C-alpha cells in the first residue's frame, strides 16, 4: 500500500464485515474515505419459489444478532399478505416478546460493541476497548448483572418463541401458542429486573460520559454531526413504538415532513447503488438524491435510536419520557444531529422497552387463549414493518395465488442508514487525520463514526440484479499484485 492510502480492514465491533479505505492528498489530508461492505446477502433471490409462510423462518437466518426483528417483520408481512387481523392477545404477546428482544439487544450494543469507546475511552489502548475493559471500569458485580439480565431476557424469548436465535412462534394471523400464567410471571420478573438495569445503565452513562467534559465534547463535535432527515415508527400520539404504527419523517429542523403507513413506502423511499459497496443506499423520493451531503435539500435520512427519538414527540412510558426530556434539554433541544448521541438514545430506548414489557405483562388480556385468526384470503402482496434495534425494517413479498414467493424486497435498518454512515466515516476521517499521521487510536476515532449506528452488514447487502460482482487479486510472496480477475 502506498503512503497515500490507509486501509482499516477489518473494522471491528459491528455485525457483519466491512472495511474503510482512506485516500490522502500530497499534504496528508483526507481526499475521501470510503466505507465499504464486501459481503453479499442474497435472501431476496433464493426466497423466490418458497411458500410465503416459510419466510419468518428463512429471513431469521439473515442475522444471528437480530433474528427476532426479521421474524416479526416477516410475520407481519404475512398478516398483510393474507389480509388477516390477529386477535388482541396475539398482538400483545408479539409486542411483549419484541420489547424483550429490543431490551436485550440494546444492552448487548452498549456494553459490548459501542459503549467501550466511552466507558473505557476513545483513545484508550486497543486491548482495553472491549467488554473486559468495561468490566474493569464498572466492576465484576456489574458484569455479572449485564450477563445475567441478558440471559434472563433471552430465556424469556426462548420460552415463548421456541428459540432465541431463530424464533418459530409467529404465524399469519397470530402466534403458535397462548401465554400461560407461569409465562406471565416469568415476564413480570424479567421486566422488573430489566427496568432497574436500564435505570442503572442510564446512571452509568451520566456518571462516566456526561460528567466527563472531554466525552461531551466528542458527542457535540462537528466531526460527528450531520443535519439530515429522520424516520421512525410512531403510535397515534407520535410516540416511539417498536412494533407497529405510522412511519414518520421529520426534516433537519424537526418539522414533520411526511407520515405514512408502511404499505405506501415505495411512494417515499428509493434505493440506489454505488460501485464501491454491496450496500444499497436509500433516500427520500420527494427530496431526491443529491449525493452524500446533508441538509434539507438532500434526500439522505437516518433511522436507529437517535432518529426514532427525533422523529417522535415523546415516549409512551413515564420513566423513558423523563429520560427523553433530559436528553433534549442537555443537548440543546430537538432535533439532535450528533451521531454519537445514538449511544444515549439507545439507553433511553432500553428503558422504554423494559417499561413496555412490564405494562404488557400486567395486561390481563394477554392470557386470552385466542391467539390466532386463520387466514382465508388468496395471497398476492404483503408488507410488514417493525423497528429493529438498528432502525426501521421493512419486508415486502409478492406471491402467486398458491402463496409462493414471486418477488421479495427487504429494506433493512442499515440500508436506510447507509448514506449517512458513509458520510459519517468520511467526515470523521477528515477531522481526525492530519498531515498523513495516523495511529491505532486515531483510526478508532474514525471507526466510532459507524459504530454509533450499530450497523448490521449481514442484513444490509444485496445486489440489485441478483448477481455478485467479483474481484480476485493474486499476490506474490513480496505482496505485489501479479494478476487480477474481475467479474462485473
pLDDT at 466 over 60: no
Name the band, by pLDDT with cuts 50, 70 and 90, for residue 3: low
What is the chain's length?
A: 488
Q: Would you state the pLDDT for residue 487?
A: 60
- Averaged pLDDT for residues 231-254: 98
Q: Would you state the pLDDT for residue 178?
A: 97
Q: Would you state the pLDDT for residue 383?
A: 98
For residues 44 and 46, what is the distance between their CA atoms, to the nearest angstrom? 6
Name the band, by pLDDT with cuts 50, 70 and 90, for residue 443: very high
Give the range with max mean pLDDT: 22-26, 131-135, 274-278, 466-470. Answer: 22-26
Name the band, by pLDDT with cuts 50, 70 and 90, for residue 337: very high
Give the range with max mean pLDDT: 25-39, 42-56, 337-351. Answer: 337-351
More confident residue, 378 or 129: 378
pLDDT at 456 over 70: yes
Q: Would you state the pLDDT for residue 275?
A: 87
Q: Would you state the pLDDT for residue 394?
A: 97
Q: Would you state the pLDDT for residue 469?
A: 53
Cell (9 digits) for 54: 416459510
DSSP 408: E
More confident residue, 466 or 438: 438
pLDDT at 465 over 50: no
Helices (H), 363-412: none
Q: Would you state the pLDDT for residue 139?
A: 87
- Averaged pLDDT for residues 220-236: 97
For residues 319 and 351, what is the distance between their CA atoms, to the nearest angstrom? 7
**Mean pLDDT, rounded, of the chain:** 92
- Averaged pLDDT for residues 310-335: 97
Residue spans in the chain of domains classed CATH 1.10.645.10: 85-225+338-374
pLDDT at 134 over 60: yes
Q: Would you state the pLDDT for residue 61?
A: 84
Domain 85-225+338-374 coded CATH 3.40.50.150? no
Express each pLDDT in 19-31 by its tens digit: 999 999 988 999 9
Q: Would you state the pLDDT for residue 34?
A: 95
Q: Sheet harboring 5-8: ordered strands across?
A: 5-8, 19-24, 30-36
- Averaged pLDDT for residues 45-58: 94
Contact between residue 34 and residue 419 where contact means Cβ atoms under 8 Å apart: no
Q: Would you state the pLDDT for residue 212?
A: 93
Express each pLDDT in 62-73 by its tens digit: 877 789 999 999
- Averaged pLDDT for residues 193-208: 96
Q: Would you state the pLDDT for residue 1?
A: 41
Give the per-residue SS3 of 100-141: HHHHHHHHHHHHHHHCHHHHCCCCCCHHHCCHHHHHHHHCHH
Cell (9 digits) for 321: 419520557
Mark residue 106 as left, alpha or beta (left: phi above 0; alpha: psi -120 to 50; beta: remaining). Answer: alpha
Least confident piece of the model among 47-56, 124-133, 453-462: 453-462
Amino acid at each position: 500500500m502506498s503512503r497515500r492510502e490507509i486501509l482499516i480492514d477489518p473494522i471491528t465491533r459491528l455485525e457483519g464485515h466491512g472495511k474503510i479505505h482512506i485516500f490522502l492528498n500530497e499534504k496528508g489530508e483526507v481526499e475521501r474515505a470510503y466505507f465499504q461492505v464486501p459481503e453479499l446477502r442474497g435472501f431476496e433471490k433464493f426466497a423466490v419459489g418458497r411458500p410465503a409462510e416459510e419466510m419468518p423462518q428463512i429471513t431469521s437466518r439473515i442475522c444471528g444478532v437480530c433474528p427476532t426483528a426479521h421474524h416479526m417483520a416477516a410475520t407481519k408481512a404475512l398478516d398483510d399478505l393474507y389480509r388477516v387481523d390477529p386477535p388482541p392477545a396475539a398482538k400483545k404477546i408479539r409486542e411483549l416478546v419484541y420489547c424483550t428482544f429490543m431490551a436485550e439487544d440494546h444492552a448487548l450494543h452498549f456494553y459490548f460493541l459501542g459503549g467501550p469507546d466511552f466507558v473505557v475511552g476513545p483513545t484508550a489502548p486497543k486491548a482495553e476497548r472491549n467488554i473486559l475493559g468495561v468490566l474493569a471500569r464498572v466492576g465484576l458485580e456489574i458484569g455479572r448483572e449485564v450477563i445475567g439480565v441478558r440471559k434472563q431476557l433471552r430465556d424469556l424469548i426462548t420460552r415463548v418463541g421456541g428459540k432465541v436465535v431463530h424464533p418459530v412462534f409467529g404465524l399469519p394471523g397470530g402466534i403458535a401458542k397462548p401465554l400461560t400464567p407461569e409465562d406471565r410471571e416469568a415476564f413480570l420478573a424479567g421486566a422488573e429486573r430489566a427496568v432497574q438495569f436500564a435505570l442503572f445503565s442510564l446512571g452509568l452513562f451520566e456518571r462516566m460520559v456526561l460528567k466527563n467534559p472531554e466525552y461531551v465534547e466528542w458527542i457535540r463535535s462537528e466531526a460527528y454531526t450531520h443535519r439530515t432527515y429522520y424516520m421512525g415508527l410512531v403510535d397515534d400520539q407520535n410516540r416511539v413504538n417498536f412494533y407497529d404504527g405510522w412511519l414518520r419523517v421529520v426534516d433537519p429542523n424537526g418539522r414533520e415532513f411526511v407520515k405514512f403507513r408502511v404499505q405506501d413506502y415505495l411512494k417515499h423511499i428509493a434505493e440506489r447503488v454505488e460501485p464501491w459497496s454491496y450496500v444499497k443506499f436509500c433516500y427520500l423520493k420527494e427530496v431526491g438524491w443529491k449525493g452524500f451531503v446533508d441538509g434539507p435539500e438532500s434526500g439522505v435520512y437516518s433511522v436507529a435510536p437517535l432518529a426514532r427519538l427525533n422523529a417522535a414527540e415523546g415516549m409512551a412510558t413515564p420513566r423513558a419520557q423523563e429520560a427523553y426530556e433530559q436528553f433534549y434539554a442537555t443537548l440543546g433541544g430537538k432535533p439532535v444531529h450528533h451521531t454519537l448521541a445514538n449511544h444515549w438514545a439507545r439507553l433511553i430506548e432500553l428503558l422504554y422497552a423494559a417499561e413496555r414489557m412490564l405494562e404488557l405483562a400486567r395486561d390481563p388480556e394477554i392470557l386470552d387463549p385466542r391467539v390466532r385468526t386463520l387466514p382465508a384470503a388468496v395471497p398476492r402482496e404483503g408488507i410488514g414493518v417493525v423497528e429493529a434495534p438498528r432502525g426501521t425494517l421493512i419486508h415486502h413479498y409478492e406471491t402467486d395465488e398458491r402463496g409462493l414467493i414471486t418477488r421479495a424486497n427487504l429494506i433493512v435498518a442499515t440500508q436506510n442508514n447507509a448514506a449517512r454512515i458513509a458520510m459519517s466515516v468520511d467526515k470523521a476521517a477528515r477531522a481526525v487525520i492530519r498531515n498523513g499521521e495516523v495511529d491505532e487510536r486515531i483510526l478508532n476515532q474514525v471507526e466510532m463514526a459507524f459504530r454509533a449506528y450499530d450497523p448490521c452488514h449481514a442484513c444490509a447487502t444485496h445486489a440489485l440484479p441478483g448477481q455478485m460482482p467479483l474481484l480476485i487479486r493474486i499476490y506474490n510472496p513480496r505482496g505485489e499484485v501479479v494478476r487480477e480477475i474481475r467479474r462485473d
